[in-house]
């Protein structure tokens, strides 16, 4: 067995070094009785960490922040954020820590970060803890998103701490070890801007350019190029969410990254019946973060990023605003292009299919799906069968068969490629009832349902016998699903 002694794990602290005003040195709380629940061994290998060693007491110490290599300087990061539209100038890592940055096997710099590691100076009224269920939810959904090819922060491990945490009922506590390209958020820029320290804002922008959008450094206006790069990354990301039916649930500006990775799996869920008004979060009464609102909300958040960046865009405020507005105008066309290309792929349409024919066909389809409450994921996967000549599987979902048959006829006339469809339309997503089933069992100590769910969602496009129930929509008695934040 090869081992990775702690001394060979090199954790840099570049964020803290370059942006000390936004980093508070802090230590993780002790864990009374740590027990590793899940470990992503493939991710460990990517990071150059030995999985067997990570399972040892010393490795679990790293995964909970209680044992860090010499030279590591864990910090809680400061950030601000618009939460449901209201600005909070001081949020920050209330129960999280950046352990440091490591260089992975591919030479990329990755943050190693913890969630649920105890109160920090940013905790406000929070207890600093996290419960097993919500940390496993982040583990499952982020891993499923990665398997779908969607940019996301990753989950390396979840460790049960042996500490009871108080929620509505006492629950087992846990720490999630998370890996990200960085934890820079729109809210990080809002924080730097709110300090009024122009030098800090510039250093933050330089740090972001260097880590995520190095091409911007070569541009005539690097900070404008940075903003454009974030606009492009987010337009592409949110299009991916929409195409797979992902509802983030809490798109506050502190939960939107500069890298373009999905972050903070709180009240997130995958939509089943297609409906733009779909909301799962128990606190999202107005539907601000409903499925269909995600593109305009992303654009709104990017406008907040632009505001934070204004002093870097031009000395003259009016000219700075004009530049920002022009760059932000790039969001919609980029989003539309990414979404349309993705939808053509979901429908298996060749490049030769005329967009003037495809666009209204897609519009019609969405109206049909919504009117008949059709399961989004099952529909697209079943449609490939219709492409092969068997409309039976897709007809199951509809009452108005005349409309469907007419639509399928026109779609087939465009020459769809069913095999290509199966490569982009997942069969297995992290369905809400399956996630709940797995988390409930895990909270009670049974990790088997979680393991089976992970088996399904980590190879979402490959149909396998025995996994039929992982491809099926929730049973009707599952009811209206609700999710909760910050637990």
Q: Which does 111 bind (CB under 5 to 8 A by kind): ligand AMP, Mg ion, none?
A: none
From the number of C-beta atoms within 10 Å of its C-beta (0-12, 13-18, 19+), residue 81 rates as: buried
Alpha-carbon gap, residue 300 to 332, rounded angstroms: 12
Q: Which is nearer to ligand AMP, 266 or 387 (CB)?
A: 266
Q: Which is nearer to ligand AMP, 28 or 96 (CB)?
A: 96
Minimum distance, C-beta of residue 265 to ligand AMP, in the bound complex (Å): 9
Q: Which does 123 bind (CB under 5 to 8 A by kind): ligand AMP, Mg ion, none?
A: ligand AMP
Q: Which is nearer to Mg ion, 264 or 422 (CB)?
A: 264
**Active site amino acids:** 254
Alpha-carbon gap, residue 246 to 270, rounded angstroms: 5
When asked if residue 432 is in the footprint of Mg ion (CB under 5 A), the reply is: no
Cβ count within 10 A of residue 388: 11
Tokens of 397: 């979902």
Cβ count within 10 A of residue 354: 9
Q: Which is nearer to ligand AMP, 249 or 416 (CB)?
A: 249
Minimum distance, C-beta of residue 358 to Mg ion, in the bound complex (Å): 38
Taking Cα atoms as reference points, which of 257, 282, 260, 259 lies closest to residue 269? 282
User: What is the x/- site pattern for ligand AMP, positions 53-72, by CB under 6 A?
Assistant: --------------------
| DSSP category for residue 67 | S
Cβ count within 10 A of residue 147: 20
- Between residue 217 and residue 276, which ones bind ligand AMP under the rule CB under 6 A? 250, 254-255, 264, 266
Q: Which is nearer to ligand AMP, 192 or 250 (CB)?
A: 250
Minimum distance, C-beta of residue 254 to Mg ion, in the bound complex (Å): 5
Q: Which of 255, 278, 378, 425 binds Mg ion (CB under 5 A)?
A: 255
Alpha-carbon gap, residue 161 to 135, rounded angstroms: 12
Q: Which is nearer to Mg ion, 43 or 96 (CB)?
A: 96
C-alpha angle 234-235-241 in degrees, rounded to nearest 5 = 85
User: What is the x/- site pattern for ligand AMP, positions 128-167, by CB under 6 A?
Assistant: xx--------------------------------------
When asked if residue 173 is in the footprint of ligand AMP (CB under 6 A), the reply is: no
Q: Which is nearer to ligand AMP, 50 or 254 (CB)?
A: 254
Torsion angle, alpha carbons of 396, 402, 404, 406, to 10? 140
Q: Which does 485 bind (CB under 5 to 8 A by kind): Mg ion, ligand AMP, none?
A: ligand AMP
Count of CA atoms in the C-beta half-sphere (13 A) of 479: 3
Minimum distance, C-beta of residue 395 to ligand AMP, in the bound complex (Å): 42
- Residue number, nearest CB to Mg ion: 264
Q: Which of 101, 138, 264, 299 binds Mg ion (CB under 5 A)?
A: 264
176-198 CB burial, b ≥16 within 10 A, e <16: bbbbbbbbbbbbbbbbbbeeeee
Q: Which does 266 bind (CB under 5 to 8 A by kind): ligand AMP, Mg ion, none?
A: ligand AMP
Contact 335, 235 (CB under 8 A): yes
**CA 20 from chain center: how many Å?**
27
Helix (H, G, I), strand (E, B) or coil at 171: strand
When asked if residue 485 is in the footprint of ligand AMP (CB under 6 A), the reply is: yes
- Between residue 112 and residue 131, which ones bind ligand AMP under the rule CB under 6 A? 122-123, 126-129
Minimum distance, C-beta of residue 147 to ligand AMP, in the bound complex (Å): 23
Containing H/E element for 61?
helix 57-64
Alpha-carbon gap, residue 441 to 37, rounded angstroms: 12
List of residues contacting ligand AMP (CB under 6 A): 91-96, 122-123, 126-129, 250, 254-255, 264, 266, 485-486
């Amino acid at each position: 067995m090869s081992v990775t002694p702690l001394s060979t794990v090199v954790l840099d602290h570049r964020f803290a070094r370059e942006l000390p005003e936004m980093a508070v040195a802090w230590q993780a709380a002790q864990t009374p009785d740590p027990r590793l629940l899940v470990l992503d061994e493939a991710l460990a290998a990517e990071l150059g960490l030995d999985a067997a060693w990570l399972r040892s007491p010393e490795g679990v110490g790293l995964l909970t922040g209680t044992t860090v290599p010499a030279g590591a300087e864990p910090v809680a990061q400061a950030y601000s954020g618009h939460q449901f539209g209201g600005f909070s100038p001081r949020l920050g890592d209330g129960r999280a820590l950046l352990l440091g940055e490591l260089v992975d096997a591919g030479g990329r710099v990755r943050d190693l970060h913890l969630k649920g590691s105890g109160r920090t100076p940013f905790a406000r009224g929070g207890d600093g803890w996290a419960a097993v269920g919500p940390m496993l939810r982040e583990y499952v959904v982020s891993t499923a998103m990665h398997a779908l090819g969607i940019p996301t922060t990753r989950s390396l491990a979840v460790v049960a701490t042996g500490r009871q945490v108080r929620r509505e009922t006492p629950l087992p506590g846990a720490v999630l070890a998370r890996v990200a390209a960085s934890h820079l958020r729109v809210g990080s820029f809002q924080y730097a801007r709110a300090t009024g320290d122009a030098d800090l804002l510039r250093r933050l922008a330089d740090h972001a350019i260097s880590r995520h959008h190095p091409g911007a450094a070569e541009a005539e206006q690097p900070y404008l190029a940075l903003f454009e790069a974030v606009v492009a990354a987010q337009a592409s990301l949110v299009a991916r969410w929409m195409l797979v039916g992902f509802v983030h649930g809490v798109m506050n500006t502190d939960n939107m990254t500069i890298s373009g990775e999905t972050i903070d799996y709180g009240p997130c869920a995958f939509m089943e019946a297609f409906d733009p008004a779909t909301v799962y979060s128990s606190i999202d009464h107005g539907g601000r973060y409903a499925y269909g609102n995600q593109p305009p909300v992303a654009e709104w958040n990017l406008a907040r990023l632009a505001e934070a960046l204004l002093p870097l865009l031009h000395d003259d405020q009016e000219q700075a605003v004009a530049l920002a507005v022009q760059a932000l105008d790039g969001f919609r066309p980029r989003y539309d292009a990414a979404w349309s290309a993705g939808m053509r792929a979901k429908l298996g349409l060749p490049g030769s299919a005329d967009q003037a024919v495809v666009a209204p066909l897609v519009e019609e389809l969405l109206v049909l799906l919504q009117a008949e409450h059709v399961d989004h994921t099952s529909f697209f996967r079943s449609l490939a069968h219709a492409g092969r000549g068997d409309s039976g599987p897709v007809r199951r979902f509809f009452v108005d068969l005349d409309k469907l048959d007419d639509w399928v006829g026109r779609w087939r006339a465009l020459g769809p490629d069913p095999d290509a469809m199966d490569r982009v339309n997942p069969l297995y997503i992290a369905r809400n009832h399956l996630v709940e089933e797995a988390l409930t069992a895990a909270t009670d100590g049974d990790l088997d349902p979680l393991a089976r769910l992970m088996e399904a969602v980590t190879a979402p496009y490959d149909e396998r016998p025995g996994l039929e129930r992982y491809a099926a929509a929730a049973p009707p008695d599952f009811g209206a699903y609700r999710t909760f934040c910050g637990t």
